[in-house]
Amino acid sequence: MYRVRNLNGVLAELRMLRAERRSPCLPRPFTTASVAITPTMNSGKSVAACCGALALAYACAESNFAAEKLALASGSAMYTADDVSLRDGMEGRELWVTYHGGVYDLTDFAKEHPGGAAFIKSAAGGAIEPWWQYWKKHSQSKVDVNALIAKYKIGEHSDWDGDTTPIELFDDEPSRNIEHQHLVMAEQPLETETWTPRLNEQLLTSADALYVRNHAPVPRVSSADGHKIDFVLHTADDPEILMRSIQLGNLIKEKPQKVVPSVLQCAGNRAADNIKATGPTGFSGSEFETMGVGMAGCGIWGGASLKNVLESVYGGYSIMREKNLWVEFHGLDGYFTSIPLEVANDCFRDALIATHMNGEPLNRDHGFPARILLPGIIGARSVKWLSKVVLRRSEGDSPWNARYYKAKLPGEAETLKDMPSAMKLPVQSIMLTNDASPSEPGGSQYLKRSDSRLLSGVAYSGFSGDSIAKVEVSTDQGLSWNEAKVTDSLKQFQEDDSSKEKGNFHWVKWELTTGYKDAKEVWVRAFSSGGEIQPAEPKPNPGYLFNGYHKVPIVG
Ligand code: HEM
């Protein structure tokens, strides 16, 4: 059985196992190369069509005897680990994997895989189980992955030892203070929203209360100073030219440190409101469909200016004068995504290689020792556990650009390819007062009927970095609106840099005392100083960037 801790562990373990099995004629049952015994494999391909495994297979023919007998008896093709490892998807070879005693030809499926072809390739020639346990979405998906993979079965795996013990990849997660601050949507990997009353307690979200959206087990980094970040150039001819590798300790010492108050918000925040307002979205039927307003928080982030670091690494090269460049961020967990370079270089928004939140080193869930922080941009692009930065001429093939986190603009084609990646957060206001209890399902939020009550929440302008001009509250379904009191107490943390205009990416607090004895709902909407208004009826969308009026139901 495998026992691995992180992505590198999975890779190392798989490489080791494959290397072992590649040696022909190993003295263990069924470990020598063999080929299908039946004349035609389940996939319809003839035995002769199979690649170089044949040579090994015939050389080791005597050890195939048992497999052959078994295969003849069951009527299905039998393959050893060596057969599979040779179908590694490289240089035009087929792409095979094993799974629970079966052998699967994923050559065609790789192109359709929602997680992208590159990820499937990393499992090519070996077992899929460790990868599915690492990218655990496979067992939580709305799509039945077992039914999906079944379509690609071509035979049995003669070397399978029958061991289905799960690999414990999530046994080194950080210790967490979840109770009374988080609503947990999934535990492995952790996906939480902050419980609204907790967000309402203080304008600055504490690190242990901030929502968590992990995609895989949390990497462990022992030394912040010694942690290395590689800076790479990607060109059509050479996908990986290492320009510099910088130790975080040196990066902090060499570059002036900046402090930026900013909201961090998941693109899918308010998924439940979105579904209610526009009909089913990509989140319907998933663990996110009950998500309230708590996948957002506001911190004071500290770190080195991303623009500054990129200039010092790539500035001397002519590519930096080209237009339409992208910068891709990779985390130690294997997650990666890209943004236009102009966003990273925008002084107005002060993107960071952040090492601190609210004056403390980042905690493990939020990317210790370093993460990207992109004010005004969806949280999915602020990659945690930063290990590599790639400057490239195209958006790249990250599934989290190519398939997930898409923004559909009105009138645009419906194919994924034609949809732009979600980037810009829209203006937003949310009510944080909540009479529901955390034990109620999902992100429940409602208010008990009242003659007079202090209601409060937050508002922010998102990508524009404009200030919030006003927040209004309606208790009669939008027939009339009352202006709330807005307090901007986090602006003081913005760096005093009079030479440059700075955006407002933090949130402000709004408060209003009002009665809503006969109301059905209380509505909230915000206006930015640039004229952006939260819409009454947002257009249908894939599930991201919802910013319709926040409507909180009244009960009792
Ligand atoms: C036959 C084999 C496979 C099938 C049928 C399959 C199926 C899927 C499906 C249905 C999703 C979408 C899940 C969702 O969003 O609900 C997905 C996502 C993904 N897959 Fe696979 N997959 C396979 C193999 C692999 C392998 C071998 C890897 C990695 C080496 C991989 C990595 C990923 C990743 C990274 C995602 C994105 C998950 C996330 O955002 O957390 N997949 N896959």
The closest-lying atom of ligand 1 relative to the alpha carbon of residue 104 is 1
Q: Are residues 213 and 355 in the same domain?
A: yes
Vertex 277: Cα angle to 536 and 436 (nearest 5):
100
Question: How do beta strands 386-392 and 228-233 pair?
Answer: parallel
Confirm whether 56 is domain-assigned. yes
Q: Are residues 133 and 196 in the same domain?
A: no
CA of 283 to the centre of ligand 1 (A): 16
Q: Which of 377, 407, 437 is the last residue of a domain?
A: 407
Confirm whether 172 is domain-assigned. no
Q: Are residues 216 and 253 in the same domain?
A: yes
| Smallest CA separation from ligand 1 atom 37, residue | 115
Q: What CATH number does residue 323 fall under?
A: 3.90.420.10
Q: What CATH number does residue 447 fall under?
A: 2.60.40.650
Q: Are residues 399 and 313 in the same domain?
A: yes
Per-residue confidence (pLDDT) for residue 67, from 0 to 100? 45
Per-residue confidence (pLDDT) for residue 497, from 0 to 100? 65
Confirm whether 420 is domain-assigned. no
The closest-lying atom of ligand 1 relative to the alpha carbon of residue 335 is 35
Q: Are residues 29 and 121 in the same domain?
A: yes
| Euclidean distance between CA atoms 432 and 512, whole angstroms | 12
Q: Cβ contacts of residue 201 below 8 Å, gap of 6+? A: none
| Euclidean distance between CA atoms 497 and 499, whole angstroms | 5
CA of 232 to the centre of ligand 1 (A): 26
| Euclidean distance between CA atoms 548 and 273, whole angstroms | 8
Q: What does pTM read for this prediction? A: 0.87
Q: Which of 157, 191, 218 is the last residue of a domain?
A: 157
Q: Are residues 240 and 379 in the same domain?
A: yes
Q: How many CA atoms lie within 13 A of 479 on its CB side?
A: 6
Q: Is there an atom of ligand 1 within 6 Å of 149 CB? A: yes
Boundaries of domain holding 459 = 428-555
Q: Are 338 and 396 in contact (CB under 8 A)?
A: yes
Query: Which of 120, 146, 398 has most ligand 1 atoms within 8 Å of its beta carbon, as the pocket-test mutant?
Result: 120
Q: Nearest CA to 426 among 399, 392, 466, 398?
A: 466
CA of 146 to the centre of ligand 1 (A): 11
- Would the CA dihedral through 239, 243, 249, 254 be positive or negative? negative
| Smallest CA separation from ligand 1 atom 4, residue | 145
Task: Please state the domain count of the chain.
Answer: 3
Vertex 249: Cα angle to 243 and 251 (nearest 5):
45
Q: Are residues 389 and 441 in the same domain?
A: no
Confirm whether 166 is domain-assigned. no
CA of 135 to the centre of ligand 1 (A): 7
Q: Are residues 349 and 288 in the same domain?
A: yes
Q: Are residues 137 and 241 in the same domain?
A: no
Q: Are 391 and 319 in contact (CB under 8 A)?
A: yes
Q: Is there an atom of ligand 1 within 6 Å of 122 CB? A: yes
Question: How do beta strands 96-99 and 521-528 pair?
Answer: unpaired
Q: Is there an atom of ligand 1 within 6 Å of 215 CB? A: yes
Confirm whether 41 is domain-assigned. yes
Instruction: Supply the DSSP symbol for 218.
Output: P
Q: Are 401 and 383 in contact (CB under 8 A)?
A: no
Q: Are residues 354 and 480 in the same domain?
A: no
CA of 136 to the centre of ligand 1 (A): 8
182 pairs with which residues across the strands? Answer: 194
* Chain center to CA of 134: 13
Confirm whether 174 is domain-assigned. no
CA of 114 to the centre of ligand 1 (A): 6
Q: How many CA atoms lie within 13 A of 375 on its CB side?
A: 32
Q: Are residues 81 and 146 in the same domain?
A: yes
CA of 318 to the centre of ligand 1 (A): 38
Q: Is there an atom of ligand 1 within 6 Å of 106 CB? A: yes
Q: What CATH number does residue 39 fall under?
A: 3.10.120.10
Q: Is there an atom of ligand 1 within 6 Å of 123 CB? A: yes
Q: Are residues 222 and 368 in the same domain?
A: yes
pLDDT digits (tens, 9 = 90+) for 343-371: 999 989 999 999 999 999 999 999 999 99
Confirm whether 414 is domain-assigned. no
Q: Are 322 and 314 in contact (CB under 8 A)?
A: no
pLDDT beneath 70, residues of the chain: 1-75, 408-414, 442, 496-500
Q: Is there an atom of ligand 1 within 6 Å of 120 CB? A: yes
| Smallest CA separation from ligand 1 atom 40, residue | 215
Confirm whether 470 is domain-assigned. yes
The closest-lying atom of ligand 1 relative to the alpha carbon of residue 404 is 40
Matching residue, tokens 């790639």: 390
| Smallest CA separation from ligand 1 atom 7, residue | 145
